Amino acid sequence: MTELTTLPTITVLGAGYVGLTTAALLAHSGYMVYAVEPNEERLQVIQSGVSFFYEDGLDVLIKTAIDNGTLIATSSYQASIPKSHIVFSSVGTPDNPDGSSNLTYVFAAATEAAKLMPEGAIYVQKSTVPVGTGTRIKQLFAQENKQIPYVSNPEFLREGTAVFDTLYFDRVVAGGDDFGAVQAVTGVYKQLELHRDDIADIATIKKSRQVGHYISTNLNSAELIKVTSNAFLALKISFANSIAKLSDVVGADVVEVMDAVGADKRIGRAFLNAGRGYGGGCFPKDISGLIASGKEYGVDLAIMKAAQDVNNTMPTYVIDKLSKKLDNLSGKKIAVLGLAFKAGTSDTRRSPGISIANSLVSLGVNVQAFDPKANEEASHNLDPAVIITSSIEEALINIDVIIIATDWPEFIKQDPSFYTNRTTSRVIVDAVNKLDKHSYVSAGLQYIGVGR
């Protein structure tokens, strides 16, 4: 049994969306934290005191912690792990071409860390991994002749609200067979709770009185909890989109339908939002990984395959609705507003907005696109023919159609006159179903929603 009686030094392996947020917050909670990032370009950005991606409130936390000497960004395992009592692994888990999880980085990090971890140190897996991964890593540790306590501690943060979600968590899951190690990991979050209001002030984010739950489980349960949670949320989105398609045919409004359905406390309104589908670095990857895990263990997760299939159709469904309205899109000039996969982040991984923009180009459309935070990142995946503009106003110049592809406040909070005064276009596609349909119709715009 492993017990920690003093505040530990912590190393976080991988300074991406999860790792860097975790490291910065723990560095404000009384811990000495090493953030290990092997990518030299990203490392230099972090060492300068900012994040290489956009996340509300994170930059000031990084800068303050580095200035205080409680956060050290490094590329060296040797300079960090031997000094640490707890090592969090937050390295990437991209998917393979067949949809299964690529665990190359996970096992490489565990192998290297095992060689350097001091006696009694705890290895914690925060990366989302398939069920059974922890068992394989424990076997790896045994091959290195190391008795290293292993805990699965999956993250549940949302990009765009990652700082808030980590501070005011709804649950902390820790799974493993070493009770002392599990308690030590939950103790890290209890220490974070003691400082969270002060940290929220530094980050200038909203506060909450929410009290999170601590859930201790066995290892396999902890690993399955995370992917199951994401899969269920994705299933709700695909369910709403299926009903949206039916709503379009029968003349119903899916927003009204889901408002009423979500009023049932057994169901809840969250994630019943129809639109251009989900994207990002979690839902698509976690669902394909869960399907692959089921296949590995002889279980056909048909319901998740259906959710995946529905989601894959949604960007094209939006374009098809527009095409039917205008008869022919070729030669049209269309503004795509929103390239991040969701508002509040610069992440463009599997972004429906990018998919829509690229598909329009293939149909002979002239596309002008803008995103408040994701222009640069999106440029790597956009068709070269897409013109990336520096402002909403520039994107709206001389266009025929406006497509709202991401629910940034800059797009959805505008009065209809914002658009009618800046362009002669009278067609607006609400691919996120967040506009007030009636006010846009009253302003003389042809409104096209999803299931509306």
254-262 and 219-250 helices, crossing angle to 10°: 140
Q: Which among 268, 296, 276, 426 is positioned nearest to 355, based on CA atoms? A: 276
Q: Which residue has the tokens 């790896």?
A: 140
Q: Across-strand partners of 430?
A: 404
Backbone angles phi and psi of 156, in degrees to 5: -130, 25
Contact assessment for residue 165 and residue 156, using Cβ atoms and an 8 Å cutoff: yes
Backbone angles phi and psi of 418, in degrees to 5: -60, -40
Annotation says 282 is catalytic:
yes
Residues with Cβ within 8 Å of 232's Cβ and at least 6 positions away in sequence, in order, are none
Cβ neighbourhood burial of 244 (10 Å; 0-12, 13-18, 19+): buried
**b/e sequence 55-87, b meaning 16+ C-beta within 10 Å:** bbbbeebbbbbbeeebbbbbeebeebbebbbbb
- Long-range contacts at 325-330 (CB < 8 A, ≥ 24 apart): 325/427, 325/446, 325/448, 326/400, 326/401, 326/427, 329/360, 329/363, 329/364, 329/365, 330/363, 330/364, 330/365
Which of 282, 314, 319, 365 is an active site residue?
282
Q: How far apart are CA 351 and CA 396, in angstroms?
A: 21
Backbone angles phi and psi of 426, in degrees to 5: -125, 20
Residues with Cβ within 8 Å of 68's Cβ and at least 6 positions away in sequence, in order, are 27
The total number of residues written for the chain in this structure: 452
In 396-449, alpha helices (H): 409-412, 416-420, 437-442
Show which residues are catalytic: 282
